[in-house]
């Protein structure tokens, strides 16, 4: 009985501590439009923390993640066989963010515990659910690391330790760069308030990324009327070839 009461007191204390902080945040824009001339964009994430507990509070850290739509990915490993590079192994990652950015007030290893990271899926490896790997695949984690390495190289996975600025005792902000190769869909912005390497408050917002104008029309045509899109592409290619040939003949004849 005494042990049960002690456990209840600890649980209530933890709940009260979590309620001692209230966080509000917002994005500088709620929608990003992808046009034919889209060369990337950036959004400002900002917010404030309100301490509801009485008395002085310990300093806090902030981690902000922005995640793109989830898509399955197949990662293949190549080895040299008889002098030729061929695919020897592959692993299917069930759901990987098409874009993932992490911005923090300090080094992740110093401000966030492994338990909190695993619980909230904050770090890039934990944000990727790698399931359904074939039994004959060795070192399955290496395939996840390979995907992260590839996407860091093309700018869709980024980490900015120290990228979140604390202003005074309550305000925070960071700039998130969106590369030109992002895909459309709903992007999820998550903000975590960290104290003693634990998550004590969270806030979530969404960002819509959508193709507009000519880009949207071409994308919709390709997705919904593939045959017409292929025929139109072939017609444009033939017309462009004929036009170039006619121009060349005219230049030579003049």
pLDDT digits (tens, 9 = 90+) for 100-146: 999 999 999 999 999 999 999 999 988 886 544 444 555 667 788 88
Given a cut of 60, whether residue 17 has pLDDT beyond it is no
Mean pLDDT of the region 57-64 = 88
- The model's confidence at residue 242, banded by pLDDT at 50, 70 and 90, is confident
Distance CA 99, CA 159 (A): 11
Q: Mean pLDDT highest for which of 21-25, 51-55, 169-173, 247-251?
A: 169-173
147 Cβ partners below 8 Å, 6+ apart?
A: 73, 75, 93, 96, 128
Three state DSSP letters for 14-81: HHHHHHCEEEEEEECCCEEEECCCCCCEEEEEEEEEEECCCCCCCCCEEEEEEECCEEEEEEEEEEEE
CATH number for domain 22-208, candidates 3.20.20.450, 3.40.50.2300, 3.20.20.140, 2.60.40.3880 = 2.60.40.3880
**Closest C-alpha among 109, 103, 101, 102 to residue 173:** 103
pTM metric for this prediction = 0.72
Domain spans in the chain, listed from the N-terminal domain onward: 22-208, 212-254
Distance CA 233, CA 123 (A): 42
Mind giving me the DSSP string for 166-191?
A: EETTTEEEEEEEE-TTPPSEEEEEEE
């Amino acid at each position: 009985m005494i042990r049960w009461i002690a456990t209840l007191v600890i649980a209530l204390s933890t709940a009260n501590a979590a309620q001692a902080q209230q966080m509000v945040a917002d994005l500088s824009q709620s929608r990003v439009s992808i046009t034919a001339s889209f060369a990337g964009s950036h959004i400002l994430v900002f917010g404030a923390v309100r301490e509801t507990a009485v008395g002085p509070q310990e300093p806090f850290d902030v981690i902000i993640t922005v995640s793109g739509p989830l898509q399955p990915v197949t990662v293949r490993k190549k080895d040299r066989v008889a002098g030729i590079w061929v695919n020897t192994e592959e692993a299917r990652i069930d759901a990987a963010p098409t874009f993932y950015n992490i911005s923090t007030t300090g080094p992740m290893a110093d401000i966030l515990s492994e338990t909190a990271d695993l619980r909230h899926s904050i770090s890039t490896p934990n944000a990727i659910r790698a399931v359904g790997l074939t039994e004959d695949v060795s070192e399955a984690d290496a395939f996840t690391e390979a995907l992260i390495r590839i996407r860091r190289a093309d700018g869709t996975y980024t980490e900015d330790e120290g990228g979140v600025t604390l202003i005074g005792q309550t305000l925070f902000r960071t700039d998130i760069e969106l590369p030109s190769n992002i895909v459309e869909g709903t992007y999820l912005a998550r903000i975590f308030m960290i104290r003693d390497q634990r998550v004590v408050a969270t806030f979530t917002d969404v960002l819509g990324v959508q193709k507009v104008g000519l880009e949207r029309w071409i994308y919709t045509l390709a997705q919904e009327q593939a045959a017409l899109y292929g025929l139109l592409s072939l017609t444009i290619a033939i017309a462009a070839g004929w036009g170039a040939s006619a121009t060349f003949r005219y230049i030579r004849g003049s």
